Amino acid sequence: MKIILPNAKELNTNLDNHPFVPLSEESSAVLGAIRNLSVEELAAFYKLNSDKTELEADRWYRIAHRQAKTYPAWTLYDGLMYRYMKRRELSQVEQEYWQRYVRIATGFYGLISPFTLISPHRLDFQGQLKVEGQSLKQFWRAQYDEQVAEEDLIISLSSSEFEQVFSPAIQKRMIQIVFMENRAGQLKIHSTISKKGRGRLVSLMAEQDVQTLDEISQLTFDGFAYRADLSEEQKLVFVRKQP
């Protein structure tokens, strides 16, 4: 089993850090493509103003010159989903679960363990970056596929942006988890609710060492409960009634 999580734009560097970790061949190739962009091209790529672009350019400079500090990926990422995870005082079972079953989809480091040491950066799969003549999704596809090819269960707690890095054959095997809210009888999907639900669900799975779809469907948390009538073969739906 593998559980696929997205990375996050929000970062928290107010943490204990580690020295720079040498990059893989693939990450070095991505770094080279980004470093070839001018500041103006980088601003257009990120769709950011000049001040924020300078921050990102400085981060890439530090990485290129091996000056950047590193942090465990899942503590560096600080988006809403990550803030709703249990990331402290983990039991041995929880630590082993996160290490064995959970992977974070990134555009710079590939598909990584939550505990992989990474440097602060910003990179998703939506920009038009070419690496060795390929889009970023195409560049990473083989590495992503290889990590899950032999898995009997692939659970996506991500979005289509990250799912599409995998080949169509792998995408067809993914089980999506959908979070909905019942508002006065109307079922709604909201990004905030979804992000919170993903964080809480994966942490609960680690706490209880959940490894099957049946075990997932038995979980209840934060008012969410599995709805068999709304679910499909490749999709599990959890619904929460609005308070």
pLDDT tens-place string over residues 146-178: 999 999 999 999 999 999 999 999 999 999 999
pLDDT exceeds 90 at position 127: no
| In contact, 112 and 104? CB cutoff 8 Å | yes
Tell me which of 184 and 4 has the higher pLDDT: 4
pLDDT tens-place string over residues 4-57: 999 999 999 999 999 999 999 999 999 999 999 998 999 999 998 888 899 999
pLDDT exceeds 70 at position 131: yes
Strand residues in 18-173 grouped as ranges (E): 71-72, 102-105, 111-112, 117-118, 130-131, 134-135, 154-156
Q: What is the DSSP string of 223-240?
A: TEEE-TTT-BTTEEEEEE
Size of the chain, expressed as the number of residues it contains? 243
pTM as predicted: 0.96
Amino acid at 151: E
pLDDT at 184: 84
pLDDT tens-place string over residues 58-115: 999 999 999 999 999 999 999 999 999 999 999 999 999 999 999 999 999 999 999 9
pLDDT exceeds 80 at position 235: yes
| In contact, 162 and 80? CB cutoff 8 Å | no
For the chain, give every domain's residue range.
Answer: 2-241
33-46 burial string, b = 16+ CB within 10 Å, else e? ebeebeeeebbebb
Neighbours of 63 (CB within 10 A): 23
Longest dimension (CA), the chain: 56
pLDDT at 243: 65
Say how far apart CA 119 and CA 24 lie, in whole Å. 13
Tell me which of 128 and 89 has the higher pLDDT: 89
pLDDT at 234: 96
Handedness of CA 196, 201, 204, 205 (dihedral sign): negative
